[in-house]
């Protein structure tokens, strides 16, 4: 297993291309393949990243801009409210990171308490606009890949990085999509509505764990202070804590991935 962190986004897209009928349209570049159901990559295939970026609409820093008005969000099992009037889709990202929880280890009946998430975000706006069936597969694939080192500016993954998602406090998710390469925007949010994940959502990494986190609608904490107004967390993969704290430490992380759909004024 020579999968490196820098190959993250390409591994995402390539592994699906390799598996799907569209393989014939875009081809398959040497050095990539599947083993034990997981995508793999060898360092000698670095050049295939660049080649891939040129040919695959939606991968690579030089991808053309695409018409996000054509992109349609997946519908939650309990449908989430539509974005507010006058908002337009501004960005779609794959998040890959952890959901954080704490447990009161002195309390025998305690349940895990969510204390936030930390994720690197990768730009899949064009994939959302042009190949939605590909997009829907990415969270499950990303969950089984290591969290990429997204701050290495020399890595190919950095070129496709949207930014970072983290929490300012336990109830304030923050999206920072400003990097040295672009200024897509940022914003503070609050939870607005939820849906359970579909019953067939993965349980966790390698389909083992306690299930996939809820789908969410987040609204701006203060709509006048920021461009981003609404964020949907959809097609989640993993991230749920066990139902009880029995046997759990005082603080722990659960691996997850998700689509984030970001709407602006």
Ligand X SMILES: *[C@@H]1O[C@H](CO)[C@@H](O)[C@H](O)[C@H]1NC(C)=O
Task: Give residues in contact with ligand X (CB under 6 A).
Answer: 58, 63, 65-66, 81, 90-91, 100, 107, 109-111, 118, 123-126, 166, 184, 193, 208-210, 222, 224-225, 242-243, 251-253
Closest distance of CB 80 from ligand X, Å: 6
Query: How far is Cα of residue 123 from the mean position of the Cα atoms in its chain?
Result: 9
Nearest 5°: the CA angle 136, 197, 232 is 65
30/87 with CB nearer ligand X: 87
Query: Which one, of 164, 68, 81, lies nearest residue 119 by Cα?
Result: 164
72/251 with CB nearer ligand X: 251
The token pair that represents 211 in the structure block? 């299930």
Closest distance of CB 124 from ligand X, Å: 6
Closest distance of CB 262 from ligand X, Å: 8
Closest distance of CB 107 from ligand X, Å: 4
Q: Alpha-carbon dihedral of residues 2, 8, 9, 14, nearest 10 degrees?
A: 20
Distances 200 to 3, 211, 214 between C-alpha atoms, Å: 28, 9, 13
25/182 with CB nearer ligand X: 182
For 1-38, the DSSP string reads ----GGGHHHHHHHHHHHHSTTHHHH---TTEEEETTE
Which residues have C-beta within 8 Å of that of residue 188, sequence separation ≥ 6?
168, 172, 173, 174, 220, 221, 222, 225, 226
Query: How far is Cα of residue 179 from the mean position of the Cα atoms in its chain?
Result: 17
184 and 195 in contact (C-beta within 8 Å)?
no
Closest distance of CB 2 from ligand X, Å: 25
Closest distance of CB 11 from ligand X, Å: 16
18/194 with CB nearer ligand X: 194
44/222 with CB nearer ligand X: 222
40/167 with CB nearer ligand X: 167
The token pair that represents 69 in the structure block? 């008005």
44/169 with CB nearer ligand X: 169
Closest distance of CB 123 from ligand X, Å: 4
Query: Which one, of 78, 47, 64, 169, lies nearest residue 117 by Cα?
Result: 169
């Amino acid at each position: 297993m020579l999968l490196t962190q820098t190959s993250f986004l390409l591994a995402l897209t390539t592994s699906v291309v390799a598996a799907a009928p569209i393989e014939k349209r875009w081809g398959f570049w040497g050095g990539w393949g599947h083993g034990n159901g997981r995508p793999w990559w060898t360092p000698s295939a670095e050049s295939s990243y660049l080649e891939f970026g040129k040919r695959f609409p939606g991968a690579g820093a030089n991808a053309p801009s695409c018409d996000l008005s054509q992109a349609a969000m997946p519908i939650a099992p309990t449908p989430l409210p539509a974005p507010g009037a006058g908002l337009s889709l501004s960005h779609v990202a794959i998040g890959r990171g952890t959901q954080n929880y704490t447990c009161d280890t002195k309390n025998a009946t305690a349940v895990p308490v969510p204390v936030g998430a930390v994720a690197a975000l990768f730009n899949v706006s064009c994939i959302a606009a042009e190949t939605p069936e590909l997009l829907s597969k990415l969270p499950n694939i990303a969950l089984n890949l290591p969290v990429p080192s997204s701050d290495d500016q020399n890595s190919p993954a950095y070129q496709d990085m949207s930014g970072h998602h983290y929490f300012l406090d336990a109830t304030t998710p923050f999206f920072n999509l400003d990097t040295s390469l672009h200024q897509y925007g940022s914003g503070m949010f609050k939870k607005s509505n939820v849906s359970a994940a579909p019953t067939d959502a993965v349980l966790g990494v390698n389909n083992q764990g306690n299930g996939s986190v809820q789908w969410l609608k987040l609204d701006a904490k203060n709509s006048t202070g920021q461009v981003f107004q609404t964020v949907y967390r959809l097609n989640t993969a993993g991230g749920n804590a066990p139902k009880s704290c029995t046997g759990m430490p005082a603080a722990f992380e659960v691996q997850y991935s998700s689509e984030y759909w970001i709407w602006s004024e």
